[in-house]
Structures are given as structure tokens and as C-alpha cells.
Amino acid sequence: MIKRLLSYLKKYLLAIISVLLFALINVIATLLIPVLIGKAIDKIIGFSDVDFTFVYLMIGYIVIAVITSNLFSYLYELIMSIICEKIVLNLRKEVFNKVLYLPLSYIDSNRHGDIVSIIVADIEQVSNGLLQGFKQLYRGIIMILATLIFMFVIKWEIALIVVLVTPISLFVAWFISKKSHDYFRRQAKINGELGGYILEMVTNQTNVKSLCYEKEAIKNFEALNNDLYEVGKNAQFISSTTNPSTRFVNGLVYALVGLVGAIYVVKNNDLFTVGMLSTFLTYANQYTKPFNEISGVISEIQAASASFKRVIKLLDLPNEVDDGKEEIVLPVDNITFDNVNFSYNESQTLITNFNLEINKGEKVAIVGPTGCGKTTLINLLLRYYDPNSGNIYIDNINTLDLKKASLRKAYGLVLQDTWLFRGSVKENIAYAKPNASLEEIKKVATLAHATGFIERLPQGYDTIISENSGLSQGEKQLIAIARLMMVQADMVILDEATSSIDTRTEEKIVDAFNYMMKGRTSFIIAHRLSTIQEADKIIVMKDGHIIEIGNHLELLKQNGFYAKLYKQGIVDN
């Protein structure tokens, strides 16, 4: 983990060298002050026996040393803050970019709240740990080494006492931090689980209230919250004992230095003066201070360490593989499923021995019970997932040989679950074509029959909207449909695209779709009869198999599974 952190620091090598120099000047200036004070003390010999000229000179030097120390301390803090925040800025950017290029299988199989928690909470914790811990550690090491050198120059025998007692302080800090690290790791994990649960409850409040699930939700939340409390309490308590424990050891060092130094002063005042003892006591305190500061932020360092591991674990996940080399050639003439087999997990087979050929311009509807594999077909077409065996061909080219970006740009997609980002209406419609003119936007909005409610909005097409801006589900869907019409894709996929729209509006939308899909291959997953009865080919699926193919009238004449669904009213609901 340290090696990984250093890889981020390498980009700022010149700035770090400058910071190292500033920290060194700051430490040397700070350590000169006790020497100057000690020299001044030695010139205060007795009552009415003070060398004021020398004392005033020392005071002047002390003022210069204080100014120098504070100036370079300011520069150190400023540049270190810039470096640390730059690292966190790039880290957050890297993690966000990583999420966008992860396989859909990872997004589907992990709680979204936990992923958000890594991007927001864990990186923020890394930021706190870097700013608090790394700065203290960086300057603290220089302070410790420089103080040791100064002490050995003044009186190596007393300096040796400090060095011999120091390992006790280090052992105490190491022992406590080792104990607390596991708690901080568990705390980061539970934090992610809690974030995921809160996101689920907040985004599904309608279901929570309609099912009267409030008490169960609170109960589950309290269980997670109590787990976090227990782990967090132990982590904070154990890590917080580091500071008083090391302070006790450091106090012992100070007392030993004072005792031994006093004996040297009494025995031989010429070789070890009172001023030297004063300087040495100040150094003993200066020497132990970095240990206290580092131990004081040990909880931040431990929490940052646990969070950084979660961030690194995410960054080290393999990206979505795109080994395709060829570009798709438009327009597409035919699509072929050749003995395709697929399952999301090995224990549950979903699609088996699937064969189908679709010609250019055909409107293909896919119907069947929930879980029969309708949406999975769309996932395979767009290569969100690849078949376990068998192949899908576009104009006799295996889709595995096509670049994913090229393949996906050939499709226009509208899902049942709409998505709007925070921005104006026109920005949402022109999402895939940012340079679209207002006339183009209004044209597709008219085709989608969305102009009526858009023009009633406070600022019309400039109104800022989002997922929670008060638009109905149907209005959101109309914007999503207008977005698809803007793309002008060669192939169109409608996955329950009109499920949230009233029947009257749907009739108009179907007309718009027919206009948009003219000459284009289209796939429609829908329950409503009005959406699918105009299809050239209706594929009836059950348990991952095609069991019937034909148009609406042909399937009714067959009096098979489709006819059964139709008579039961399942198709047209």
C-alpha cells in the first residue's frame, strides 16, 4: 500500500524536494532557538552580573530564528496541502473513471451505495489521513533526526539515554496501532454497507411507505448502525490510548534527562552548564513532540489506511475487456443468433441453444414471462455480457470481433427505468448530441409528444430538471424517448419504453416510433398489445427458449402459448 502511495507522490518529486528543504530549514531554525536561549542563560551569572549586550544579541538572533521558522513552516504547510489535495483530486478522478469502465457484471453484483461510499467517503478519509498523518510524519522524522544530532553534539552521554528509552515509545505506538487497524478496516467495510442500505431506503421510499416497511427498515438500520458504533468506539478508544501512552514514556525521558543533566551541572559546571541543561531539556521535549503528534493522528492514519485499501481494491479490478478490432459498417443488413447459451451464474441456466435471424428493417417484438431472458437478449446484443457459448453475428461478423463502442453507437436504447441527470431539459434531450441546435431538440420533442408539458415548465427547455425534480414517470420517459430520436441510430431497442405512459399518449408515441423505426431494425420488449401487434416478427420466449415465432395474427391462429397469454390478458395489461 505504501508503494502504491509513493507512486502517486512521484509526480510531485520536485515539489517534495522543495518541501523537504523547507522542513529542514524550519527544523534547524526551531532547534537553534533553545541553543540561543541557553547561551543567554549562561550570561545571566548572578544578581547585577548580566552581560546585557550579549543577551540582547541573542534576543535578536532568536527573533530572526522565530521568523525564519514560521515562514518556512507556512511554506511547508502550503505546499504539502497542495500536494496532498492534488493527489486526492487525481485519485478521485481515477476512481470515478474506473467505475465507468468496469464491467456491468460488477455494477450489477455490488451495492451501488457501497461503490458511492468508496468514491466519496473513503477518498475523503484518505484525504484526511494524508493531510493530517503524512504532514506530521514528514516533518516529524526530520525533527527527530535533527534533534538527535544537536543533542549528541552537546552531550552524547545524555543523548544516549534519550535514544535508549525511545524504542519503548515506538513499541507502545506500534502495539496499539496494530490492535486498532483491524477495527478501522471493519469500520470502513460497515460504513460502505450502511451507505448502501441508506441509498436503497432513500431511493425506494415509495415502496417502503406503501408496504409499511418503516419499522423493519429502522430495525435493520439500527442493527448496522449499532455494529458501526461498536467497531468505531473500539477503534477510536484503542487508537486514542496511543497519545497518552507515548506521552507517559516521553515524560519519563524528560525526567531522566533533567535528573542526569542536573548531576552533570553540579559535578562539572564548566563542561555542562545550566544553559546547556536548559537547551537539552528543550530538545528532549522537542524530540518527543513529533512522537506525540504522530500518535495523536494515528486514528486518522489507520482509518485512511483502511479506506485506501478499499480504493486500491476497486482500482485493481479488471476493466471491461474490449478485444474487438473491427468497426461496424452501417446500415446493418442482418443479425444472427447462432446456438447462443448464456447464464449469469453457473448454477442457473438462462438461455440455451438460442437461434434467430433478423433481417434489416424488421420490427421484432419479444414477449414472455418474467425471467425468460427478454432483457438478457438486449444485454447480449449490446455486449454488456458475452455468450457463454455460441455466437452473435452482425452482417456475418462475430460481435466479439467488433469494437464495443462502435457496436453500441449503432443502437438507440430506451429502458423502462428512465434516467435524467441534473441539467436543463434541452441538455437532457441532447445528451448523446451536445452540439444539437434548439430546432433539432424541439423537433424530436414534438415527435415524442413532449412539447406540451415542456412548454408548461417555468423556463421551458431551459428548466433545470433531475430525477427528483417533480416530473412524472411518464414525462421522464417522454424525454428519454426524445433523447433516442435525437440519436438517429441504425437499430432501435425499446425495453418497456412506454410502460409508464398513458394509453392515449402511447398511441401518439407508437406513431412517432413507427416514423423513427422506418427502415431500421428494431427490438421491442413490451407487454401491451398495442405496442407489439404491429411487429413484423413476435418472438415468444419461455425458460430461455424460443417457443413460437410469427406476427400477431399468425400466433393467434397457432393457438399456442402466445394465444394463451393473449386470452388471459397477460400480454395486454
Q: What is each CA distance from 445 to 317, 449, 478, 522, in whole angstroms?
A: 40, 6, 8, 20
Residue linked to cell 427498515: 217
Q: Name the nearest CA neighbour of 414 among 442, 367, 382, 439.
A: 382
Distance (Å, whole) CA 334 – CA 397: 10
CA distances from 510 to 482, 484, 504, 531, 566 (A): 13, 14, 10, 7, 20
Q: What is the pLDDT of residues 18-31, one digit of tens each?
A: 988 998 899 899 88
Taking alpha carbons only, the member of 415, 399, 408 closest to residue 476 is 415
31 contacts 147 by C-beta, under 8 angstroms? yes
- Angle 364-369-375 (CA atoms, 0-180°, nearest 5)? 50
Which whole-number Å values give the CA distances from 4 to 88, 118, 308, in the listed order?
13, 17, 10
CA–CA separation, 382 and 208 (whole Å)? 33
* β strands within 435-565, DSSP E: 464-465, 491-495, 521-525, 537-542, 545-550
- What pLDDT score was predicted for residue 572? 45
Grid cell 423493519 — which residue? 216
Q: Are 534 and 360 in contact (CB under 8 A)?
A: no
In order of 23, 189, 326, the CA distances from 96 in angstroms are 34, 19, 28
Note the pLDDT of residue 475.
Answer: 84
Phi-psi group of 523: left, alpha or beta (phi > 0 → left; psi -120 to 50 → alpha; rest → beta) = beta
pTM assigned to the model: 0.70
* Residue in this structure with the C-alpha cell 444472427, named with its chain if needed: 336
276: alpha, beta or left? (left if phi > 0; alpha if psi -120 to 50)? alpha
Q: pLDDT 10s per residue in the chain (573 long)?
A: 778 888 888 888 888 889 889 988 998 998 888 888 888 888 887 677 778 888 899 999 999 999 999 999 999 888 888 888 888 888 989 999 999 889 888 888 888 878 888 888 888 888 877 766 777 777 888 888 888 888 888 888 888 887 787 777 777 777 777 777 778 778 878 887 888 788 778 777 767 777 778 888 888 889 889 988 888 888 878 777 776 777 787 788 788 888 888 888 887 766 778 888 888 888 887 777 777 666 667 667 777 888 888 899 999 999 988 888 899 888 888 999 999 999 888 777 788 888 888 998 888 998 888 777 788 888 899 999 999 999 999 999 999 999 998 998 898 888 877 788 889 999 999 988 888 999 999 998 988 888 989 999 999 999 999 877 778 877 888 888 888 888 878 898 888 766 666 777 667 667 767 777 778 898 888 766 666 777 888 988 887 778 888 888 999 999 998 888 887 765 543
Measure the CA–CA gap between 421 and 403, rounded to whole angstroms.
Answer: 27
Length of the chain: 573
- Mean pLDDT estimate for the chain: 83
Domain architecture of the chain: domains with CATH: 89-315 (1.20.1560.10), 334-567 (3.40.50.300)
C-alpha cell at 265: 551541572
